């Protein structure tokens, strides 16, 4: 059923005249009559009683008019919502991130919500290794990862530069040291994150290259559990600095620099290189790229 036919029918019903409807719609009367005839043919019912001086609605006509008005209201609502999307006063932003990279999004989301309070923001927990594929498959529009995506169909912008921090409890034997050598760590019990990442591989290779044993006797699924175990002096760990920043400032954890292991961590917002972004996502990207001084 064509919306144009319903619009013509509703106008004839409101004007109670084919000629007046034609004037209002800037069409010839034959075109108006043909549009109504096609609608009647499609429905299989007569919509107007044409016997008198004015056209009157049949029972079927009154029913169709009710739905024609609903369609008209929906059309107006659609136009309004599309305008809101273009103005970023409505819409939805979905970003994929893992547990640790979500932290890097917080200041950007706060700024975005301040600028566009009408947009709903959802951060979806995903494995960092799977985020590029989820973006390409259309399951995510954007994602946050800690490595450069290799697929040419994706592009990325650096939103934060961090580093891996070697952390110990304030009660640990190394807590009073600012710097240690990797050889000092051969007897330590490391609490590891059991999620595969490029930075885990860097740590493993560095210990192997210096022929220092790495005792990863405990593996945990979340940064939070690792942090708590280190605070209890159950072991030591390498974690992203931002994930333990507050605990270090409050002296619940202590960071020690390892001479042979300085690992910078670039946090990237990744998104499709060619596929058009939604208005909400485009606004977020523009905010990310905006100089901090603005």
The per-residue pLDDT for range 245-277, each reduced to its tens digit, is 999 999 999 999 999 999 888 899 999 998 888
The continuous run of DSSP H or E covering 240 comes out as strand 237-240
Residue 294 included in any domain: no
- Decide if pLDDT at 210 tops 80: yes
Q: Which domain holds residue 179?
A: 161-265
**What is the total count of domains within the chain?**
3
In contact, 103 and 242? CB cutoff 8 Å: yes
For residue 275, give the 3-state DSSP assignment. coil
User: What global pTM score does this model have?
Assistant: 0.63
- Tell me: do 174 and 236 sit in the same domain: yes
Residue 58 included in any domain: yes
Share of the chain above pLDDT 90, in %: 42
In contact, 225 and 164? CB cutoff 8 Å: no
pLDDT of residue 293: 46
Task: Please compute the mean of the pLDDT values over residues 102-130 and round it to a whole number.
Answer: 89
pLDDT band at 292 (very low <50, low <70, confident <90, very high): low
Residue 198 included in any domain: yes
- Tell me: do 193 and 55 sit in the same domain: no
Among residues 86, 109, 140, the one where a domain terminates is: 86
- Tell me: do 77 and 193 sit in the same domain: no
pLDDT of residue 52: 66
pLDDT band at 132 (very low <50, low <70, confident <90, very high): very high
């Amino acid at each position: 059923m064509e919306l144009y036919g319903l619009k013509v029918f509703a106008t004839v019903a409101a004007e109670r005249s084919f000629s007046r409807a034609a004037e209002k719609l800037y069409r010839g009367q034959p075109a108006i009559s043909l549009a109504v005839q096609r609608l009647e043919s499609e429905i299989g019912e007569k919509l107007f009683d044409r016997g008198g001086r004015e056209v009157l609605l049949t029972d079927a006509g009154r029913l169709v008019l009710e739905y024609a008005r609903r369609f008209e209201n929906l059309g107006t609502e659609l136009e309004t919502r599309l305008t809101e999307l273009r103005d970023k006063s409505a819409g939805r932003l979905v970003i994929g991130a893992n547990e640790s990279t979500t932290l890097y999004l917080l200041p950007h989301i706060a700024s975005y919500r301040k600028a566009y309070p009408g947009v709903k923001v959802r951060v979806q927990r995903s494995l960092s290794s799977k985020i590029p594929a989820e973006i390409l498959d259309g399951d995510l529009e954007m994602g946050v990862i800690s490595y450069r995506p290799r697929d040419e169909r994706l592009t990325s912008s650096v939103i934060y530069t961090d580093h891996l921090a070697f952390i110990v409890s304030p009660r640990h034997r190394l807590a009073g040291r600012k710097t240690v050598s990797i050889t000092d760590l051969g007897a330590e019990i490391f609490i590891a994150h059991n999620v595969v990442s490029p930075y885990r591989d860097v740590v493993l290779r560095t210990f192997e290259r210096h022929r220092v044993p790495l005792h990863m006797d405990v593996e945990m699924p979340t940064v939070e559990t690792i942090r708590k175990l280190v605070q209890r002096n159950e072991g030591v760990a390498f974690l992203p600095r931002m994930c333990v920043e507050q605990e270090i400032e409050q002296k619940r954890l202590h960071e020690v620099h390892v001479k042979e292991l300085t690992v910078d961590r670039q946090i990237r917002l990744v998104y499709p290189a060619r596929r058009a972004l939604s208005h909400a996502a485009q606004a977020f990207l523009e905010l990310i790229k905006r100089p901090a001084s603005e």
